[in-house]
Structure 1
């Protein structure tokens, strides 16, 4: 049986992380090690709760579950907007590459906030648009899909300067499309009582199409 798409994505991202860390130090002729400047200056990331660092908190506001302990207590010492008690994968990517933590899109206020990198991921978000679910009488957890995240990305680019400046910035950025799609299956299967056959023949192709579309947008940047 082929491994699920989410597992393949995690394996790919972990492989990328280890390769980045391995390339950070290179032996010199004298046998010493010196730090090499990475060509990545920032991260632009997309996904759901495995990547979100604050967008859901911006949507729901203070007083929600993730704004209270134990979230964040083992590393940040306070709730950080992550659906975790500590750090998540995107934090380790930033650390390994030596780049700033990307700003949650909904927390950014000025162009300067976005020049360090942007995290568009939203916990409970879906790969597929709201119209797909609503047309089948299904209710989304949060009305944010990958298409919305791609639109946010385009909005950010417009704020980062001239076409030449934007090209220079994106050329030195790492783009990550993290795990996405599990909420689509939960909405349809667990809460919507759709059959496995419908999930495979109707939902899965839509999820794949949404992911491919987002990857295409980031490549055309």
Structure 2
């Protein structure tokens, strides 16, 4: 059985806004294992981004249990074990394409040939000719492909992608997803893609539904459940 990478039990996340307590994640119980391919779907404001941030260790639950059995403590997850891809590319403007892709590897003190890892990641998305260019010279689709190349370069155990095709036209988004899934085929890397696009969700093995902060699941891999509300 694949290793359990992320496990949550009755996880809730509340925020204070104008003196009012807002529940972004009401209750989330799930287990993410190696090789899982998960679509996280729900309307804007349903809690998808908050759940992604919790899974990455960028945020902490208000209540409930969240742990990373096969990965370690929350402070050790980024950028080596879990990679994040945001809806906007979030590239650093002063750095070239190759430098942007290399940065997480340098931060994680990855051993080995970083240059080769960067070149391989860029080639996966057909970006080899753009290696020396700055982000300002790229189209929006190219920048998002660079962000995805940055996510895979370090061979993470988990890739969490928050609406990665949300600002792309359909052909570009489809090509991005095609390249990513082909790259991950046969690997133990788990993939969670937050999306509102049914075509993207249909490419995953499991669908996690977020509605008003509550998580439920359909599909053949992974597991989720719902428990009592946030306290």
Q: TM-score, normalised by structure 2?
A: 0.32
Larger radius of gyration: 1
Report which of the two has the higher share of strand. Answer: 2
Report which of the two has the higher share of helix. Answer: 1
Structure showing greater relative contact order (alpha-carbon pairs closer than 8 Å, 6 or more residues apart): 2
Q: TM-score, normalised by structure 1?
A: 0.33
